[in-house]
Chains A and B, each alone.
Chain A
C-alpha cells in the first residue's frame, strides 16, 4: 500500500497514469451527464410547489457539494504538504483551487437564479449564502497567494496553511441552516434514513452529482499535467517526453 502510494506520488508516474485515464473519465462523465440531464429535465415531474423552477437544483446542488468536497481535498493535501512535503500534494492542491472556485461560483450563481422566483430576490445575507461566498473568497485567496510567491515550494506551504485554516468554514456552511434561522432550505438529500425528495428527482440528482465528481477528477488530471510540466520542465523525464 505504502509502495503504491509512494509510486503514485512520483510526478512522471502520475503524469502518465493521468494521461491514460483522461479519455476514460471523459466518456464516463459524458454518459453520467446525459443520463442525469435526461432524468432531471425530461423524466422527473415538476415540483408540486416550485413547478419547473426546481430543475435548477440538478446543477446547483451538485455544484454546491463539489465546492465543499474540493475544499476538503485541498485541506487534506495541505496537511500532506506540511507533514510529508509531497510534491504531488502541492500540485493537486493548487490545481484543485480553480476548479473549486468554479464550482463555488456556479453554486452561488445558480442559487441566485433559483432564489429570484422562489424568494423574490437574487441575494440575501443569509448564513448559508454568506458562508458559501466566504468559501469563494478562500479559493480566490489561495489562487492569489500561490501566484504572488515566485518560489513554488514556498508558495505551496503558504497555501497549505491557508487551506487548513479555511477548512473551519466547511462545517459552518453545512450546518448553517441548522445553527441559524435561514431562508435557505435544510437538508433534503443527506437525510439518508428518509430523504425528503422523491426518487424520480433523487436519482437524476445523484447521477448529476456523480457526473460532477468524475468531472472534477478529469479536470484535476488535466490541470495537474500542466502544472507538472511547468514545475518539472528541467527534469529528465520531461525532456524525454
Chain B
C-alpha cells in the first residue's frame, strides 16, 4: 500500500466491523424476540 497501509487497512477493517455489527445484531435480536414469543405462547 505504498506506506499507507496503516491508514488504508484500518479504514476497511472499521467498515467491515460496522457492516457486520449492523447485520449480525438485529439478526440475533430477531431470533431472541421469536424465542421469547414462543415461550410466552407455551406458558399461556
Q: A113 in the interface, Cβ–Cβ < 8 Å?
A: yes
Contact indicator A56/B11 (Cβ below 8 Å): yes
Contact of A222 among B3, B7, B30, B37 (CB under 8 A): B30
* A61 CB, min distance to chain B CBs, angstroms: 12
Q: Which of A103, A117, A215, A225 contacts B7 (CB 8 A)?
A: A117
State the interface size on chain B (CB cutoff 8 A): 25
The one of B4, B5, B14, B21 in contact with A109, judged by C-beta atoms closer than 8 angstroms, is B14
B18 touches A102 (CB 8 A): yes
Does A114 touch B at the CB level, under 8 Å? yes
Contact B1 A52 (CB under 8 A): yes
Residues of B within 8 A of A92 (CB): none
Select A219's contact among B2, B23, B34, beta carbons within 8 Å. Answer: B23
Rounded to whole Å, the gap between the CB of B1 and the closest CB of chain A is 4
Task: Tell which of B11, B19, B26, B34 touches A215, judged by Cβ atoms closer than 8 Å.
Answer: B19
Number of A-B contacts (CB under 8 A): 78
A residues 45-68 in Cβ contact with B at 8 Å:
46, 51-53, 55-56, 59-60, 63
Considering the chains assembled together, what is the distance between the CA atoms of A116 and B41 in angstroms?
56
Q: Does A233 contact B (CB under 8 A)?
A: yes
Residue from A99, A110, A238, A239 within 8 A of B15 (CB atoms): A110
Whether A59 and B27, one on each chain, are in contact in the complex, defined by CB atoms closer than 8 angstroms, is: no
Considering the complex, give the chain A residue whose CB is closest to the CB of B21: A102
A43 to chain B, nearest CB (A): 15
Within 8 A of A (CB), among B1-44: 1-5, 7-8, 10-12, 14-15, 18-19, 21-23, 26-27, 29-30, 33-34, 37, 41
Which residues of B does A touch, CB under 8 Å? 1-5, 7-8, 10-12, 14-15, 18-19, 21-23, 26-27, 29-30, 33-34, 37, 41
**10 interchain pairs (CB within 8 A)?**
A52-B2, A59-B11, A59-B12, A59-B15, A110-B11, A113-B7, A114-B11, A219-B23, A225-B26, A225-B30
A positions within 8 Å CB-CB of B = 46, 51-53, 55-56, 59-60, 63, 98-99, 102-103, 105-106, 109-110, 113-114, 116-117, 215, 218-219, 222-223, 225-226, 229-230, 233, 238-239, 241
